[in-house]
Amino acid sequence: MKAIEILVGEHDSILKMIEVTRIILNSDDETINLEHVEQIIDFIKNFADKYHHLKEEDILFVEMEKFGMSREFGPIGMMLHEHNEGRNYIKLAGESIEKFKNGDRSAFEQIKYNLLNYCELLTNHIAKENNILYPMAERILPAGVLSAMSEDFKISNASTFENEYFDRYLKLVLYFSEIYLN
């Protein structure tokens, strides 16, 4: 599998989890499965951010910079800004969950606000990456660089702690898809 295909495949998993999140949050705070919401936040922090965004930030964007793209401006700058914006939504959602668990029923609205804004942000973000940034990368990066990235991504995914990339996060997407999307 090629580097860009790996990233797009990860986007597909993230989009499924976004769809699950929207379904869960359209219920009221009396019926919400808070454990599932916490698992979604864990998925976002680790799969979407740690495993996926870091591949982009530490490998793909760095290589694109070497071939003339600015890290501060243009597509890469926008993607980095959106990664940080998403991290802030998730931080605030996590803080609101703690308030909710401690009896503050009004915190549900903050959980919902932050997670639904994250979902909107990431849906648009992924569309930009899949349709603009990734095709740019395939045009400007030499085949050897793309091939080396593919190997780096495969090794990275296969070497996560206790194989959590595959055994925890991808299985969680399948599990939640069966519950909420079927």
Domain annotation for the chain: domains and CATH numbers: 3-180 (1.20.120.520)
Question: Residues 6 or more apart from 135 whose CB is under 8 A from it?
Answer: none
Lookup result for tokens 């979604």: 40
Say which amino acid occupies 21: T
C-alpha to C-alpha distance for 137 and 127, rounded to whole angstroms: 15
Which tens digits make up the pLDDT trace of 15-69?
A: 999 999 999 998 766 678 899 999 999 999 999 999 999 999 999 999 999 999 9
- The tokens describing 70, both together, are 């600015």
Nearest to 17 by CA among 135, 173, 166: 173
Which tens digits make up the pLDDT trace of 102-159?
A: 999 889 999 999 999 999 999 999 999 999 999 999 999 999 999 999 999 999 999 9
Expressed in angstroms, the distance from the first to the final Cα of the chain is 28
Residues 17, 9, 64, 128: is their CA dihedral positive or negative? negative
